[in-house]
Amino acid sequence: KQEVTQIPAALSVPEGENLVLNCSFTDSAIYNLQWFRQDPGKGLTSLLLIQSSQREQTSGRLNASLDKSSGRSTLYIAASQPGDSATYLCAVFLGAGSYQLTFGKGTKLSVIP
């Protein structure tokens, strides 16, 4: 059974700092991994998608890496801003006929002005 763990559960940083969020998964036979952002009480916004054959993806100040063999991914946020405050979730997709995403519990990020 695939399990996804995110560390830390919560993180508070001053504005301008660079930060790293961690995600680990138990079954390396994934098709892709996604990082989502969720604002309080809202739905999910996809930030970055990494295919299993890729090592990293970048979008603006965000960079996500994937080490499939070790079952790890990181989301790097550069020059954090108060608007980055949200919960960040990672999810793995196995493919092979299943559309199920398996999520971690998320990291709640607070960026202090």
Partner 1 sequence: ETGVTQSPTHLIKTRGQQVTLRCSSQSGHNTVSWYQQALGQGPQFIFQYYREEENGRGNFPPRFSGLQFPNYSSELNVNALELDDSALYLCASCFWNRVNYGYTFGSGTRLTVV
- Tell me whether residue 18 or residue 26 sits nearer to partner 1 (CB atom): 26
Rounded-to-integer distance, Cα 75 and Cα 6, Å:
11
Secondary structure percentages of the chain, helix, strand, coil, to 5: 5, 60, 35
3-state secondary structure of 89: strand
Question: Does 41 contact partner 1 by CB under 8 A?
Answer: yes
Question: Does 43 contact partner 1 by CB under 8 A?
Answer: yes
- Tell me whether residue 75 or residue 101 sits nearer to partner 1 (CB atom): 101
User: Which residues contact partner 1 (rule: CB under 8 A)?
Assistant: 4, 31-32, 34, 36, 41-46, 49, 89, 91, 93, 95, 97-106
